[in-house]
Amino acid sequence: MSSRLIVPELTKRRVRELASQRRRIDKRGLTEFRPVTIERSVIPQADGSALVHIGHTKAIAGVKIDLGQPYPDMPNAGVLAVNVELMPLASPTFEPGPPDERAVEVARIVDRTIREGKMLDLEELVIMPGREVYLIFVDAYLVDHDGNMIDACVLASIAALLDATMREAIVSEGKAKLIDEREPLPIRHYPLTATICRISDTLIVDPTLEEEETAEARITIGFDEEDRICMMQHSIGTLRYGELYQAINISREAVSRLREDLRKVFPDAR
Amino acid sequence: MSEIVRRDGRKIDELRPITMKIGILDKADGSAYIEQGNTKVLVAVYGPREVHPRHLGLPETAIVRCRYHMAPFSTRERKSPMPTRREVELSKIIKEALANAIMLNLYPRTTIDIFVEVLQADGGTRCAGITAASLALADAGIPMVDLVTACAVGKWNGKIIVDLTGEEDEECEADMPVALMPNLEKVTLIQLNGRLTSDEFLEAFNLAVKACKLIGELQKATLRNYYEKIKEEVYEQ
């Protein structure tokens, strides 16, 4: 399939061999993320933005905020719309065109992490119920794909939302208008995810591209700052019941370490 | 288990009434129909057959393609027949949930196409779709390492419950679809929307395993009945 990058069998074999000895091809610990850097406010045009590196994987996310109508079935909630683009410049296996099933899946994972992790208080984003609310658009772009695009897109999106400010709205003569005063978004929780792969019966965190292509199973688990599970998506292979429990414990630890990286850039983040 | 009664009077660990049928479509290589409460799903399997376009074929294995689709009349308000992002994602994860059970290396350069059509949606459509698709694959005579059986669990009103209706799904604090191969004890799909503590997760997962075992027995009974009948017809001749 054209969507799979060809990793040489020799490399895969090496990754498997090492995993069976509980080692990794880049000498990392099994539950260790690659070096993570988060840069905020990289796009001044956006209302909030962040550039994230997880090893060689890079993702950039921008937040744009506008006024508009709420969804008819949710008149008392602001609108959150998440989009993910796997840009053709990020990998030889990505092609221009509308988002394919991989991009849609990642977008929905990011969306659910933010929504179900209750990151934003959407009710605070209502200006006139049923008529005028804030629309929060989060666009995450994967710009270099060296594995674990899910965590990169989630982290970039969360960071961009933490970075974002929105213009205050005033209502005059029954119409809402944005003024130049800015306020932070109503952030309530700080969800983050960690992705786990199984290779040769060993569970590892934050797979590189080589590891992901070798993996027998993959699952992404999201936690809020109180260690509640807020998102789960199993996306490659099969997992034994026991591995599921193990994966939860490993990812909880990994997320809490990732949260420290986030806190260095956003000291208010819990 | 407990006296907490749900909106439809069920206990927290009680499934809705389930009926399954197989071999109901004439042209498809395999087909199945499932009703789980008010949820009604029709599944057809075509293949293994030639891949079009051909470049998608793989030299060592069959590929699996899946379309999960909701009929415009399946929901309270008409749903546009255009595929939504939800349907694109569900097609992908249903495909993966089933492909892991199929012995794909037996049919190189071919495709197995699975069409999941939701006729009426009242919660648990992806799970009912997976359960039925696994039957349709069996009906098509495609070798599998185990049946795949699926059921949603969730947290509603502070309680962990099984097999959520559409209404419960809208009101719930968390919803977790699970698909398993019950004999191999392997998970082929797990998703979670909403918040659960680790303990609640364990409780929910164990409930899902129990429910999937029950549904798996129904699947086996459905297959057995169908082929017993064919056997009888053959003997009569």
What ipTM does this complex have? 0.89
Report the gap between the CA of A34 and the closest CA in chain B (Å): 25
pLDDT of residue B237: 81
DSSP B49-84: EE-SSGGG--SSS-EEEEEEEE-TTSSSSPPPSSPP
pLDDT of residue B5: 80
Report the gap between the CA of A111 and the closest CA in chain B (Å): 10
Tokens of A264: 């260095």
- Whether the pLDDT of residue B16 is over 70: the answer is yes
CA B28 from centroid of its chain's CA atoms? 18
Domain ranges of chain A: 9-265
* CA pair distance B225, B208, nearest whole angstrom: 26
Omega within 30 of 0 (cis) for the link into B53? yes
Apex B169 CA angle, B165 and B175, nearest 5: 115
β-bridge partners, A218: A197, A236
Q: Kind and range of the H or E element at B208?
A: helix B198-236
Best mutation target, A198, A232, A241, A251, to test chain B (most B CBs within 10 A)? A232
Which of the residues in chain A have pLDDT under 70?
Answer: 1-5
pTM score: 0.92
State pLDDT tens for residues B61-113.
Answer: 999 999 999 999 999 999 999 999 999 999 999 999 999 999 999 999 999 99
Backbone φ/ψ region at A200: left (φ over 0), alpha (ψ -120 to 50), beta: left
pLDDT of residue A2: 45
Q: Helices in B148-197 by DSSP H: which ranges?
A: 166-171
- Residue B117 contacts residue B69 (beta carbons within 8 Å): yes
- Mean per-residue pLDDT, B17-31: 97
Confidence of residue B37 (pLDDT cuts 50, 70, 90): very high
Across the interface, do A101 and B88 touch by the CB < 8 Å criterion? yes
Domain ranges of chain B: 18-236
pLDDT of residue B4: 64
The CA radius of gyration of chain A, in Å to the nearest whole number, is: 19
The chain-wide mean pLDDT, for chain B, equals: 95
- Whether the pLDDT of residue B143 is over 90: the answer is yes
- Residue B128 contacts residue B34 (beta carbons within 8 Å): yes
- Residue A151 contacts residue A61 (beta carbons within 8 Å): no
**Four-way CATH pick for B18-236: 3.30.230.70, 3.40.50.800, 3.40.50.150, 3.20.20.70:** 3.30.230.70
- The chain B residues in contact with chain A (CB within 8 A) are 55-56, 58, 63, 85-86, 88-89, 91-93, 96, 100, 174, 176, 181, 184-198, 201-202, 205, 209
pLDDT of residue A4: 58
Cβ-nearest to B85 among A104, A219, A230: A104
The CATH fold of domain A9-265: Ribosomal Protein S5; domain 2 (3.30.230)
